[in-house]
Structure 1
Amino acid sequence: MERQNSRHTTADAFLQALQDGGVEYLFSNFGSDHPTIIEGLAKAKAEKRDLPKVIICPHEHVAMSAAHGYAQVSGRAQGVFVHCDVGTQNLGGAVHNASRARVPVFIFAGETPYTIEEMRGARKSPANFLQDTYDQHGVLRPYVKWNYSIRTGTNIQQVVNRALQLAHSEPKGPVYLTGAREVLEEDVQREASPKKGWSPLESAALPESGIEELTKSLVEAENPLVITSYAGRNPAVVPELVRLCEKLSIPVVEHYSSYVNFPADHPLHLGYSIEECISDADVILILDADVPWIPSIKKPQESAKAYYIDVDPLKEQLPLWSMPSERYFKADVYEALLQLNRCIESAALSIGKIEERKQRITALHQRQREAWQQKEQQLPDQPITPEWLTACLREVVDEDTLIFNETITNAKVVNQHLPRRKPGTFFGSGGTSLGWNGGAAIGAKLASPDKTVVNLTGDGSYFFSIPSSVHWVSRKYKAPFLTVIYNNQGWKATKHNVDRLYPNGRAQELDSYWVNFDQPADFSKIAEAAGGAYAERVTAAEEVKAALRRGMEAVSAGRSAVIDVVIAGISKQVD
């Protein structure tokens, strides 16, 4: 036994390399491929050595979403450990979300043993045969920045360091490492992981010609416009963007926003839809946005000059993509704004033109807000509106509350009626695979245990989030948060897409979309049963505020809460 415990395996060195690389958590669903990993964790526990803390996740989608949320709040990649090909597949769309959102995550999966009886770690169960596949990496290859299989334990520190370096280098994203039991069982020398020489790539800046051209175009523009979706993933961007826009009176639209990119109450903020102002724009500055407009619906005038600044301006992982622009700059938005602001300080400005534009935009901003406010009026004895629900929520959160928004068809309503001005307090998934919200809230709470986390979701997204797993993890690891469900009894996004393509079609005529939950689940009770959450279902408008306050009180007391708010249903189809 003493000789067994004195062994130093690839798995031991692997875990230590993750610890030395700054990984704090392993969101894990272990299997038959992880015995040496589990033994390594147990040895460290017995010897009181620090290693990343294991967070047991009953479903891999929750594990991946938790690492996603943690990285969004902290900027640091965490580990996700899953079981062979089946665990890799169970990560599902959560990997798509991390990839599209440019979020760093370190994924590790075992591989089925590559020997039948010849080596230590060889196959011991039927599963070891059935989980053998020709291309396990192919499951994730379209979504990860890097994938590799451990060949030997002698260079495991280098492999881990490279994986983390790539994950944290722009464009950031998930990486995928695998290893079979035989290689994890290999005896290796005890070596300290090198801590230097593995920093992420330095941020790229604009070329001098680009600074000059952009400055000239913005200064001379009559109707400049900034469009952004996720520039605020670096909170330091926000004050620099405010500085630029105030200097030249440039309005900002947050299109499909997933962060606080610009203070929502600023008079130069023109909302979350480009339709109102893109037609008049003559110079458009696009900062960190994958889809600044949808050409088939609304696009700039032919004479407009568009400039793209992004660490991946050509969206190289998207097979078909086109947003015609004057120039594309592969640069970090923060660095680019610093350069532009310095250059504009010495530029000759038309103060009268800038002041006139400021007054015009401020007036439009005010009219927008007044129109939004009118929609918050809740009629008595009518179904709860999402505007009213969001207005009530606004009264129970503060500016430091971390808001996670996966309400999909009500996302714009949330943006309009729950305006955020403090960078780093609002998050969207950045992708299109539903179910991110619950796991992300767990990750956020672990990353910022002193912050209140509020998770907003539609009922369809709540189903996809695997709430039984989410709330089991939440209670076990003392990561409480409030979930508010915008329950419209179905998947409204699918209905919207049908109506767009067939505005007078049979589906609309017959109210037949096959997306509604005509026998709805009691969502809050799922969380109560699985994780002891405070559970409440609300059907009357006058009960909303009090219910939200009770939910917040439960969270303050260390218990997650789910407030299921029933709003107008999307369909009455019953077949």
Structure 2
Amino acid sequence: MSPQRRLTGAAAILYALKSAGISHLFVNLGSDHPAFLLEFASQSHEDLQIFTSPNEMNALSAASGFAQITGCPAAVLVHVECGTQGLAGAIHNVSKGRIPVIILAGTVPITMAGEIPGSRNEYIHWIQDVPDQRAIVRQYMRYEHEIRRPHNAAQIVLRALQFALSSPQGPVYLIASRETLCEDFDETDTQVRSLREYGKNTAVEPIGLSPTAPEELTNVMLKAERPLIVTSYCGRSIRGFEALKAVAELLAIPVHENAPIYNNFPTTSFLHQGHQWNGGGQLPALAEADVVIVIDADVPWIPAQSKPSQKARIFHLDNDPLKEGMTLWSLPCERRWKCDSPLALEQLCASIRGSPVLGQAETRERIGGRTSYLRERFSQRRSALLRAEAPAHDGRVTVPYFMSRLREATADVRVVGLNESTTNLGNVADHFHHRLPLSLIGSGGGSLGWYSGGAVGASLALRASGRLDDLVVAFVGDGTWLFGVPSCAYWMAKKYETPFLTVIWNNGGWASPRNAFLRLNPGMAQSNQTEGKLSDRVMTSITPSPAFGKIAEGAGDAWWQVVRSNEDVDETCKKAIQAVREEKRCAVIEVVLDSV
């Protein structure tokens, strides 16, 4: 038998992370972490790549971006309750987006007279003492716990990861005192088994449809005249994207993406019905549908703006059909199933192919007629999008025009877009022309500022996957850009060689709260001309405009350019792409739009 080693609590945690396949750890360190720093200095954890993030929200957003691209969780280590609060809105995003991450935090020492190693020896240890540190994030977590002794640290880490990776996925949070992290112990048989038998402590297997459900849904879909699929995050995996595509193409069923977190369906397909977030009015495909299949959607429609016919038959497939993290939610439907959508759609596809009804003349005629109808609708929609991309006669830049030129400039490049464009979410999604899975992703939630850390994490994920030539592009509003702590993110991108392109839609303010105000007070829109600029009066103006490019340049040597007219767009896109791909520098394009 090999001699037993002595491990600290910190070492046990790191070994457990590695045994579970965690490869990336983002850290923001403090006085609770000496035992971790000792492990880092020992360089005995080479399989675990460690990245310093000067801001906690950037760290968790980077872990999110990494997990969203790879499907594998990353880890984040922060400093006591202060660092936990520093995670800020990223906690909301990974929770609402069901993104698997493991968050670790120290606590202040639990002794104060030097009784054991790690005891309090700094004044801040009293100041940072709170009654219930875990309560800060408890309602957002799939699992949270305290590691009280180092002997079972590995067991608790592996248990936390079971929750993070079991459907519905999400974040987990563990804390440990400085004494626990510093305490060393003989590596026992229990400890060794916990690490070596990770394969016996894995996530719950994905659940498919119940035995009778595929046939039931098959019969409904084969008989439908105007079926429709609505989704928000079925495309969170390549398997889900491809399974949805297979079912839709088999029966010529149109697909609508409502408030999508991931791109779920090729926008170049005649079956694609577009995207909606806020506004847009009644979706024709939803109004005319006699059968609606909702698959992985938190907000399949906003009833005040767009809703199905009262006669429509509605079915719901979701890994979280009860929306357990929402207090007010309802989707009246005939049947709902808690299931893994890729597996369920594969079951459904097999059932459809095996149905004798599929080959009947009546069915083929119905599918053929629907195909012709949808091709004509797609042609009309594509013509409308092309008209929107036309250059403005006065030379001012619009989002559709810029997107069309960026699309042309990246025609030979595989682009991974991060869409946090707030009021321009739809413009980016509609004019991006993405057709591959995981080409355009969002934060998963509603807390702005994810894009910057997310871009660093996505870049690291692409590197780990061997996709070194992909171009990461973050699309953001001017207000959102400021939320992203850019001074930290561009520094991280420079240090860890993860350059990305940022496109800032600068409309001079926060259009989202202004628009929300006008939806309830539409008459105020007219007061712009008589009582001064409305954005200034309702405090949604960002004027004077910050020098966005200078901030990025100062933090991470980013290349930057301001675009004010159509004639500047092509050359700017060319130089920005060159800066990222050839010079390995971040690039920032500030696109000046009409001011709100």
- TM-score w.r.t. the length of structure 2 is 0.92
Question: Of the candidates 412, 417, 420, which is equivalent to residue 434 of structure 2?
Answer: 420
| CA distance in 1 between partners of 2:61 and 2:546 (Å) | 23
Moved more, 326-335 or 181-190: 181-190
Give the C-alpha shift of residue 382 in structure 1: 4.0
Matches within 5 A, 1:358-437: 358-398=371-411, 400-437=414-451
CA distance in 2, matches of 1:363, 1:395: 25
Shift, 1:506, TM fit: 7.2
Unaligned residue ranges in structure 2 (runs of 5+): 277-281
Q: Which residue of 2 aligns with 1:63?
A: 59
Distance 1:426 1:125, change over 3 A: same
Distance in 1, Cα, partners of 2:6 & 2:527:
67
Deviations 1:387-442 (A, max 9, x none): 11111111122462111111111010011111100112221111100000010000
> Which residue identity lines up with residue 574 of structure 2 in the other structure?
R
Residues 329 and 563 of structure 1: CA distance in aligned 2, closer, same or farther (over 3 Å): same
Q: 1:146 aligns with which of 139, 143, 148?
A: 143
- Shift, 1:168, TM fit: 1.1
Q: Is the 8 A contact 2:518 2:525 kept in 1?
A: no
2: CA distance, partners of 1:18 / 1:346 = 44
Report the Cα distance in structure 1 between the residues aligned to 2:395 and 2:139, rounded to whole angstroms.
47
Match of 1:560 in 2: 586
Amino acid at match of 1:180: S
User: Can you give the 5+ residue segments of structure 1 that lack an aligned partner in the other structure?
Assistant: 1-5, 571-575
Mapped to 2, the partners of 1:76 and 1:196 lie a distance apart of: 15
Match of 1:179 in 2: 176
Residues in 1 aligned to 2:376 and 2:370: alpha-carbon distance in whole angstroms: 10
CA distance in 1, matches of 2:8, 2:248: 56
Q: How does 1:168-207 map to 2 (within 5 A)?
A: 168-190=165-187, 191-192=191-192, 193-194=195-196, 195-207=198-210
Worse-matched range after superposition: 397-406 or 424-433: 397-406
Report the 3-state secondary structure (helix = DSSP H, G, I; strand = E; otherwise coil) of the residue aligned with 1:22.
Answer: coil
Amino acid at match of 2:503: V
Cα distance in 1 for partners of 2:133, 2:437 equals 39
Residue of structure 2 aligned with 1:343, choices 348, 351, 368: 351
Q: Distance in 1 between matches of 2:232 and 2:294?
A: 9
- Is 1:291 aligned with 2:299? yes
Alpha-carbon RMSD across the aligned residues, in angstroms, is 1.5
**Equivalent in the alignment of 1:445:** 459
Distance 1:561 1:249 in 2: 41
- How far apart, CA to CA, are the structure 1 residues paired with 2:579 and 2:212? 56
**Alignment partner, residue 17 of structure 1:** 16
Map 1:499-518 → 2, pairs under 5 A = 499-505=518-524, 509=528, 510=531, 511=534, 512-518=537-543
Deviations 1:254-305 (A, max 9, x none): 1112222111111111111362221111100011110000122221111111
Cα displacement (A) at 1:496: 1.1
Residues 538 and 563, structure 1, Cα contact 8 Å, conserved in 2: yes
Indicate if the aligned counterparts of 1:403 and 1:426 stay in contact, CA closer than 8 A. yes
Work out whether residues 19 and 50 of structure 1, in 8 Å CA contact, stay in contact via their aligned partners in 2: no
- 8 Å contact from structure 1 (residues 15, 51) kept in 2: no
Deviations 1:9-28 (A, max 9, x none): 11111111112211112111
Q: CA deviation at 1:484?
A: 0.9
Q: Secondary structure at the match of 1:554?
A: helix
Q: Which amino acid aligns with 1:115?
A: T
Aligned match of 1:308 in 308, 316, 319? 316
> 1:37: how far off?
0.9
Secondary structure class of the residue paired with 1:284? strand
Q: State the alpha-carbon separation in 2 of the partners of residues 217 and 503 from structure 1.
A: 43
Identity %: 38
- What is the match of residue 481 of structure 1? 500
Residues in 1 aligned to 2:241 and 2:85: alpha-carbon distance in whole angstroms? 37
| Aligned match for 2:566, one of 535, 538, 541 | 541
- Residues paired across the two proteins, number: 562
TM-score (norm 1): 0.95
The within-5 A match list for 1:221-370 is 221-273=224-276, 275-347=283-355, 348-349=357-358, 350-370=363-383
Q: Does the CA contact (< 8 Å) of 2:392 and 2:398 recur in 1? A: no
* 1:419-471 deviations in Å (ceiling 9; x for gaps): 10011222111110000001000001111121221111111110000000000
SS at match of 1:486: strand
Give deviations 1:208-257, integer Å, cap 9, x for gaps.
23222211211111110000111011111222222212222111111112
1:320-371 deviation line (CA, Å, top 9, x unaligned): 1111111111011111111111111132141111111110011001100100
Q: Matched residues in 2 for 1:8 and 1:208: separation?
A: 49
* AA in 1 matched with 2:496: Y
1:379 is paired with a residue of what secondary structure? coil
Q: Match of 2:140, as an amino acid?
A: Y
Alpha-carbon shift at residue 7 of structure 1 (Å): 5.1
* Mapped contact 2:318–2:340 kept (Cα < 8 A): yes
- Residue 508 of structure 1: CA displacement? 5.1
1:102 counterpart residue number: 98
What is the alpha-carbon distance in structure 1 between the residues aligned to residue 410 and residue 89 of structure 2?
A: 30
Alignment of 1:203-214 (within 5 A): 203-214=206-217
Match of 1:573 in 2: none
Deviation at 1:50, TM superposition (A): 2.1
Distance in 2 (CA, whole Å) between partners of 1:76 and 1:136 is 27
- Distance in 2 of aligned mates of 1:370 and 1:443: 36
CA contact (8 A) 1:41 1:51 kept: no
Secondary structure of 2:58's match? Answer: helix
Cα separation, 1, equivalents of 2:52 and 2:93: 21
Q: Is the 8 A contact 1:507 1:513 kept in 2?
A: no
CA-to-partner distance for each residue in 1:96-115, whole Å, 9 max, x for gaps? Answer: 10111111111001111111
CA distance in 1 between partners of 2:241 and 2:36 (Å):
42
Moved more, 186-195 or 34-43: 186-195
Q: Which digits, 9 at most, give the CA deviation of each residue in 1:125-153, with x for residues without a partner?
A: 11100111111111111111000110111
- String of CA shifts for 1:25-46, please: whole Å, max 9, x gaps: 2111100110111112112x1x
Amino acid at match of 2:420: E
Does the residue aligned with 2:588 lie in a helix, a strand or coil? strand
